[in-house]
Amino acid sequence: MTSRGRWYQVSWKGIKERSGGLATNIGIHFFDMLIWLFGTPDRSLVHTRDEWRTGGQLELKRADVSWFMSADPADLPAEATNPKRATFRSITVDGEEVEFSEGFTDLHTRSYEEILAGRGFGIDDARASIELAHQVREQALAPAKS
């Protein structure tokens, strides 16, 4: 959950044609992390997708993943609202949860510095996550498993 205010939907970030929508603007980072950790996707299903949230399931080479992302502050879990935070990032692997909401403040700046120093990642490194974000944006919704 990376909550945003009303400004998000009226800025370029909330316009799918400009930012790629939530799956690209915010989700790309998490798709990239999942692919680096668990391998490329064999299958992707999207169960929910609107301007504030999207979620689904991925079958990756080494993991099956149920995922959900939201920019709506109302979706923040209780542990993120006390103390008041705008984000909550968590992954659970084999029953062990790792919460990693902090530490993203200067990540874009640090990435740009590495790119300018010739130590960045190329398109081939990012291709699988870019393709997955595109697929998540465009594929038909599938019914959620009960």
- Structural domains of the chain, with CATH: 7-138 (3.30.360.10)
State the pTM of this model: 0.87
Helix (H, G, I), strand (E, B) or coil at 5: coil
Distance between CA atoms of residues 28 and 33, nearest Å: 9
Which pair of structure tokens corresponds to residue 49?
A: 């997708």
Residue 55, token pair as written in the block: 């979620």
Count the helix, strand and coil residues of the chain and give each as a percent rounded to the nearest 5: 40, 25, 35
Three-state secondary structure call for residue 109:
helix
Cis upstream peptide for 143 (omega within 30°)? no
Nearest by Cα to 139 from 44, 59, 68: 44
Parts of the chain with a pLDDT under 70: 82-83, 146
Strand, helix or coil for residue 50 = coil
H-helix or E-strand containing 112?
Answer: helix 107-116
Distance CA 128, CA 15 (A): 23
CA distances from residue 140 to 56, 91, 109, 144 in whole angstroms, order as listed: 11, 25, 35, 12
Judge whether 65 and 46 are in contact, CB under 8 Å.
no
Tokens of 93: 């692997």
Quote the tokens at residue 48: 């929910």
Per-residue confidence (pLDDT) for residue 6, from 0 to 100: 84
